[in-house]
Amino acid sequence: MADHLAAPTPLEEHRRLAVFAGEWAGEEMVYPSRWTAGGPATSHVVARVDLNGFYLIQDARQMRDGKEAFATHGVFTYDRDDRTYKLFWHDSLGYYSPAPASGAWIGNKLTLVRGSLRGNARHVYEVVDDNNYTMKIQFSPDAEGWADVLTGTYRRIH
């Protein structure tokens, strides 16, 4: 008889998120929006697998014109019940989403979408190789026509 009290263990889907663990230097382009003027930025990203391997916890600090312009705290996981990846996103604009972004991997690309009363956000992470990935955040009022908010390329700091 199986031990029903045994703690679950991370699945391969959880382990797949480890590709983003580490320290990263980013070159970003911020697009003009109602929140900010557009322009180039750099970012420093630190991510770790934690809590028994179930979560990837990511903190990023974006610099523009020599000062911090934006910061984020993301918590990624795999939901074994609905079989989708989840992203819980918090940022220095004070926005708190009522629900996590949800999505899946297709090839080397993880796409996560969340909706709110403000509209829809889509995060697309593409693994280039062990030391590089790209990311874009897009916005859409109707989840059909997407506009870039931020694009970036990130290289691992060794």
The rounded distance, in Å, linking the Cα atoms of 125 and 106 is: 11
pLDDT in tens, 128-153: 999 999 999 999 988 788 999 999 99
Q: Please, which residues bridge with residue 40 across strands? A: 29
pLDDT in tens, 38-89: 999 999 999 999 999 999 999 999 999 999 999 999 999 999 999 999 999 9
H helices, E strands: number in the chain:
1, 10
**Pairing verdict, β 147-156 and 132-140:** antiparallel
Domains of the chain, each with CATH number or no CATH: 12-156 (2.40.128.20)
Residue 74 has which token pair?
Answer: 């993301």
> What does pTM read for this prediction?
0.91
State the Cα torsion 140-154-55-14 to the nearest 10°: 90
The rounded distance, in Å, linking the Cα atoms of 50 and 63 is: 26
* Contact of 53 with 42, CB cutoff 8 Å: no
Q: Among residues 104, 101, 108, which one has the least CA distance to residue 139?
A: 101
Residue-averaged pLDDT of the chain: 92
